[in-house]
Amino acid sequence: MARRDGRDALDRQRGTGRGAGHSLEHEAGHGLERQAGRRAGRQAGLSARLGTGLVAAVTALAVGCAVAVLVDVPSWARQPEPGPSVDLAVAAEPSRSELEVVRIDPDAAPPGGTTTVHAFVANRGPDSTASPFTVVVHLPHGVTAEGPYFPSDCQVFRGGRQVRCVFGPGLPPLRSATALVPVRLDPELRAGRLDGGWVAVHSADDRDGSDHRQPFDLTVAEAAAAS
């Protein structure tokens, strides 16, 4: 009887131990599940934050690309016309040259005839000309320019009564340049002297304009008597 009671007590202890063990195992299982749940929650939060960051980054990238596309001009769009080219060459400094018009009266010619105006320009120095200079020939009434001219690129203005010829730089001191302007006299002109003609020179080198212009007279000769 006592032995049975001892076995029963032992069995109860074992049962209690097993129950306690099961309780510990159950509590441990619940603890692991709670830890796993917290870990899963943290991972989910991290994933959510990462996902939000990635979405924001992708959105910003997309917006940046959209802005870039809006700013960039499509290849088919009309491009602005190129502006005129700009010459970056430095202009030559004016030289110490003094240009002077020397008066030369043209040869006489009969009404309807032709003669040549010699526009004679001299460089009194002391330097060679560093800039181009323009020679202007103005003709009296009843006289018109009639090419060919020298230089060949002289231009005619005012109905043939004014001719402008440009000479390049480099005229040495004590040397001259001459523009040749053939002219024709009106057939209705009377014999005599025509005034109102002049020759002038313009240059960036020469600032003294006292001798830049000289008049000339053109004589209308008597018409030859018919034989």
Residue range 14-56, pLDDT digits in tens: 544 444 444 434 444 444 455 545 555 555 554 445 344 434 4
| CB-CB contact of 90 with 161 (8 Å) | no
Task: State the pLDDT at residue 108.
Answer: 97
Per-residue model confidence (pLDDT) at position 223: 81
Question: How would you list the strands of the sheet with 162-167, edge to edge?
Answer: 155-157, 162-167, 133-138, 192-203, 213-220
* pLDDT tens figures, 95-140: 889 999 999 999 999 999 999 999 999 999 999 999 999 999 999 9
- Are 149 and 165 spatial neighbours (Cβ–Cβ below 8 Å)? yes
* pLDDT confidence of residue 94: 75
The string of pLDDT tens digits covering residues 174-194 is: 999 999 999 999 999 999 999
Mean of pLDDT values over 184-213: 90
Q: How far is it, in rounded angstroms, from Cα 46 to Cα 132?
A: 82
pLDDT for the residue numbered 30:
47
What would the 3-class secondary structure string for the chain be? Answer: CHHHHHHHHHHHHHHHHHHHHHHHHHHHHHHHHHHHHHHHHHHHHHHHHHHHHHHHHHHHHHHHHHHHHHHCCCCCCCCCCCCCCCCCCCCCCCCCCCEEEECCCCCCECCCCEEEEEEEEEECCCCCCCCCEEEEEECCCCEEECCCCECCCCEEEHHHCEEEEEECCCCCCCCEEEEEEEEEECCCCCCEEEEEEEEEEEECCCCCCCCCEEEEEEEECCCCCCC
Percent of the chain with pLDDT over 90: 50
Q: What is the mean pLDDT of the chain?
A: 74
> So what's the pLDDT on residue 122?
96
Q: Average of pLDDT values for 193-217?
A: 89
User: For residue 96, what pLDDT is reported?
Assistant: 84
Tell me what pLDDT residue 89 has. 41
- Which is more confident, 222 or 89? 222
